[in-house]
A and B are shown apart, each in its own frame.
Chain A
Amino acid sequence: MKLPRWFHLFGSPPFVYRLAGILSPWLGFLACALLLVGAYWGLFATPAEAVQGEVYRIIYIHPQTAYVGMMAYVVMAITAGIGYIWRIKLAHAVAVSAAPIGASFTACALVSGSLWGRPTWGTYWEWGDPRIMFETLLLFLFLSYLALRAAFEDRDKADRVSAILAVVGVVNVPIIHYSVLWWNTLHQGPTISKLDSPSMATVYLIPFLIMVAGFTLCFYWLLLKRLRGEIVERERGTRWMQELLQGGAP
């Protein structure tokens, strides 16, 4: 396969550093705008739901954070895999940047889910529910990835060893996704991904999707910001970074 000529630019730290610097304010602005609009729409401008009452409004936070947590894992695993196979250091930098963000989103999903579970399921935590278990497992995978990295002093080695762990752990993502279909337990089945007939009224669906877009952009915004930090740390010995640092803020 022949790659287009501009493609190699994405392996170059100075280019990506600048590109991330240009993109991140836009992403940040869009993410904040969407989140504010979606939150107002979802929390104030929609009617209470017939069965659950006001509690249903968790659907503007919980599914989105859970989804972004899984997406973060996939981003991390793919970039780590690319970094391992083609030895692209920048890909490792992306993977490292994605891990703490993904861990935070997964933790948010667990916390918001358990707060919602109390009034509706009658329990904060249900050990028997597979989706909760595998979501917790996802959090542990992020944390063990970070712990494994932290144990190595040599960054290059840490990159390559942790990449293997990230790729192995990707088995977990489809299990989370299908857990509500494979086991019949408390957690409800899929609502949105049945594209032909989504089982959600349009009043709720629009703010729901706005929040999905908002959280997704928010993830990429944070990712770019972390990536810039990671590049500064990794490239601090190089000339372009020295020049950049001495020249003041970019």
Chain B
Amino acid sequence: MKRAFFAVLTRDLKIAFRRVSELANPLLFFIIVASLFPLAVSPDPEHLRSIGSGVLWVVALLSSLLALEGLFRADAEDGSLEQLMLSPVPMGVAVLAKVAAHWLVTIVPLVVLTPMLALSFSLPVGVLPVMAFALLLATPTLSVLVALGAALTLGLRRGGAIVGLLVLPLTAPLLIFGTRAIDLGLYGESTAAPLYLLAALAVLALSLGPIAIAAALRVGVE
């Protein structure tokens, strides 16, 4: 089972790195949209500091939606998804590997970029570790949700717009706890509680999410 997990993971990573331009799109989107806010709202550092964490979280959510089209679609079209289902490996394990690959190639770069953008929003340096940590804990859940959206809309020819409707409401708890951790960090208080809750959500999503995704994929490829 472990071998199957890593086989799927390395395969997906290989495919991802052969299409580097597709990898870069969500990142560029992230940077561009985040830099629109100072232009649209106000370049005043005081102001930017107060909206910064929220803006970065929302933009990170939106750009992770951009990357989901490639998650299962290509595999469903060339039949490799069906092969995975026919194999003796439980589908949940394969799904978990695919989600992990998606997380590594699209979301980890976002998490790396966020502290830099946070600096440009004049958030204090002291809060950056909390922000990076909160993002690292929240994004696995986000990846699972995005994958669920992609799986649910697999049977549709164009699922793009509707995935946002499905996924974004479910991400509300991540946003609440994520920005709360940063706010507590800004005031120098203990950030443990929201981070624990993010970790709990991640455990829930990673353990039960793949089952739901696998069920949705089965309906999708029929």
Q: Which of A137, A151, A160, A164 contacts B169 (CB 8 A)?
A: A137
Contacts of A152 in B (CB 8 A): 155-156
Contacts of B204 in A (CB 8 A): 171
A 136-154 to B, binary, CB cutoff 8 A, 1 in contact else 0: 0100110110011001101
In chain A between 35 and 67, which residues have their CB closer than 8 angstroms to a CB of chain B? Answer: none
If A147-B162, A157-B222 touch, whether A133 touches B216 (CB-CB below 8 Å) is no
B 172-204 to A, binary, CB cutoff 8 A, 1 in contact else 0: 110010000000000000000000000000001
Instruction: Give the complex CA separation of A137 and B165 in angstroms.
Output: 11
Q: Which of A133, A137, A168, A175 contacts B212 (CB 8 A)?
A: A168
Q: Which of A130, A154, A160, A169 contacts B170 (CB 8 A)?
A: A169
Residue B152 at the A interface, CB < 8 A? yes
Contacts of A164 in B (CB 8 A): 148, 152, 212, 215-216, 219
Instruction: Give the complex CA separation of A89 and B10 in angstroms.
Output: 40
**Structural contact, A160 and B162, CB atoms closer than 8 A:** no
Measured CB to CB, the closest approach of chain B to A116, in angstroms, equals 23
Residue A167 at the B interface, CB < 8 A? yes
**Structural contact, B169 and A148, CB atoms closer than 8 A:** no
**Structural contact, A141 and B216, CB atoms closer than 8 A:** no
Contacts of A209 in B (CB 8 A): none
**Structural contact, B215 and A144, CB atoms closer than 8 A:** no
In chain A between 148 and 178, which residues have their CB closer than 8 angstroms to a CB of chain B? Answer: 148, 151-152, 154, 157, 160-161, 164-165, 167-169, 171, 175
Instruction: Give the complex CA separation of A140 and B166 in angstroms.
Output: 9
If A144-B169, A164-B152, A165-B152 touch, whether A151 touches B162 (CB-CB below 8 Å) is yes
User: Taking CB as reference atom, which chain A residue is nearest B209?
Assistant: A168
Q: Which of B155, B172, B220, B222 contacts A133 (CB 8 A)?
A: B172
Residue B153 at the A interface, CB < 8 A? yes
Residue B38 at the A interface, CB < 8 A? no
Instruction: Give the complex CA separation of A130 and B194 in angstroms.
Output: 14
**Structural contact, B165 and A147, CB atoms closer than 8 A:** yes
Which bracket fits the contact residues of B?
Answer: 20 to 34
Measured CB to CB, the closest approach of chain A to B153, in angstroms, equals 7
Secondary structure at the B interface, as helix, strand, loop or mixed, is: helix
Which bracket fits the contact residues of A?
Answer: 20 to 34
Measured CB to CB, the closest approach of chain A to B142, in angstroms, equals 14
Q: Which of B165, B172, B176, B220 contacts A161 (CB 8 A)?
A: B220
Instruction: Give the complex CA separation of A11 and B102 in angstroms.
Output: 41
**Structural contact, A133 and B159, CB atoms closer than 8 A:** no
Q: Which of A144, A161, A168, A169 contacts B155 (CB 8 A)?
A: A161
Instruction: Give the complex CA separation of A147 and B156 in angstroms.
Output: 12
Instruction: Give the complex CA separation of A165 and B176 in angstroms.
Output: 22
Q: Which of A130, A134, A137, A160 contacts B219 (CB 8 A)?
A: A160
**Structural contact, B165 and A144, CB atoms closer than 8 A:** yes
Measured CB to CB, the closest approach of chain A to B36, in angstroms, equals 22
Measured CB to CB, the closest approach of chain B to A187, in angstroms, equals 15
**Structural contact, B162 and A148, CB atoms closer than 8 A:** yes
Measured CB to CB, the closest approach of chain B to A189, in angstroms, equals 20
Contacts of B212 in A (CB 8 A): 164, 167-168
Instruction: Give the complex CA separation of A157 and B204 in angstroms.
Output: 27
Q: Which of B148, B169, B173, B219 contacts A140 (CB 8 A)?
A: B169
**Structural contact, A161 and B219, CB atoms closer than 8 A:** yes
Q: Which of B166, B170, B173 contacts A148 (CB 8 A)?
A: B166
Name which of A84, A147, A148, A171 has the most chain B CB atoms within 10 A of its CB. A148
The 3 closest A-B pairs by CB, nearest first: A140-B169, A160-B219, A144-B165
